Amino acid sequence: MPSFDIVSKVVMHEVNNAIDQANREVQTRFDFKGSGALFKLKEEGIELVAQNNFQLTQMLDILHNKLAKRSVDIKSLENKDPEINNNQARQLVLIRQGINADVARTVVKLIKDKKLKVQAAIQGEQIRVTGKKRDDLQEVIAMLRDEKIDLPLQFDNFRD
């Protein structure tokens, strides 16, 4: 019976490369000279360190550009509020991996509302879709690509 998995993954190697490129750009840009601005990859996400809030917004733009060039979807990032002290500003950008329960339920509801002959089952942080015909599965993939879901979805493990 044909099936595939709906997942939401970010390639951390590409994120690491994008952070290295962003750090190099910040070090060479004139408006960041001597500011000590940098990007740090942490376990929970990416930490941005700068002197003020304006530089943080500039750094976010640089980070988004570098990630987009390395084919990392920006929808997988979640910006936290910046913490601003006297001489330093910090902001954490979370990297969302996996499909949480609320989004998974919405995706399953979208699939069931389409009334195709497929079954969708939530399995941890992914959704398994099975059906009798390959065409029905491809229709589900096309439908999900058109929907406005705030998380980037990938379709893995397509089996006939």
Q: Which of residues 76, 95, 114 is at a domain's end? A: 95
Find the Cα–Cα–Cα–Cα dihedral 138, 140, 143, 149, rounded to 10°: -130
pTM value is 0.83
> For residue 153, what is the domain's CATH number?
3.30.70.860
The distance from CA 25 to its chain's CA centroid, rounded to whole angstroms, is 22
Domain end point (choices 41, 69, 95): 95
Distance CA(64)–CA(72), nearest Å, equals 9
Instruction: Note whether 59 and 76 are same-domain residues.
Output: yes
Shared domain for 90 and 103, answered yes or no, is: no
Read off the pLDDT of residues 59-87 as tens digits, 9 standing for 90 and up: 999 999 999 999 998 989 999 999 998 88
pLDDT in tens, 95-134: 998 888 888 888 888 888 888 888 888 888 889 999 888 8
Domain boundary among 95, 115, 145: 95
C-alpha Rg value of the chain to the nearest Å: 20
